[in-house]
Amino acid sequence: MIIVRGTAMVEGDVKVKFDVNTFNAYANQSNQSLMDMEAGVDHLERIEKMKAGEAFVFVMAGDPFSLNAANDPSHMTSQLDLVNSSNVQFQNVELQIWQGKGSKYSFMRYVWFALIIFLIVWIYRVIVQRNADKFENLMNKHSGRK
């Protein structure tokens, strides 16, 4: 996770882009993710343009990655490179490495799964309701004749 604190130099869009490279110091492995944050997107989505001198805090999270016995966490290191910035007066940039078990699946994958389950349940209810209505009509016709 990267936390960027700064101010807008002039009125307009504020943009920062970082390249984060996490790799095992004793192996030739790397996990690279490009993080991009613009004012007006994510948690600042209500702000399209920032005023000159306006302070901001961007919190940007990269993709999770996992470590196992082959990737000893004590030998891992991270490198943060500023790729692009515009209209930014940096106050500080903080790189945080969090430990914990994250999901390898994105949030949208869970949303799609939930929508599919909802659709299956909805279709099932429509079919069951239609058959129940047909059965009720049949029973009403049958009881009406006697």
pLDDT by residue (tens digit) across 67-83?
Answer: 665 556 667 777 778 88
> What percent of the chain is modeled with pLDDT above 90?
17
Give the pLDDT of residue 70: 58
139: phi then psi, degrees, rounded to nearest 5: -65, -40
Give the pLDDT of residue 105: 64
pTM over the 0.85 mark: no
Distances (CA, A) of 87 to 7, 16, 92, 136: 8, 9, 15, 69
Read off the pLDDT of each residue in 45-61 and give the average, rounded to a whole number: 76
Q: d(Cα 48, Cα 38) in Å, to the nearest integer?
A: 9
At residue 101, does pLDDT exceed 90? no
> What percent of the chain is modeled with pLDDT above 70?
66
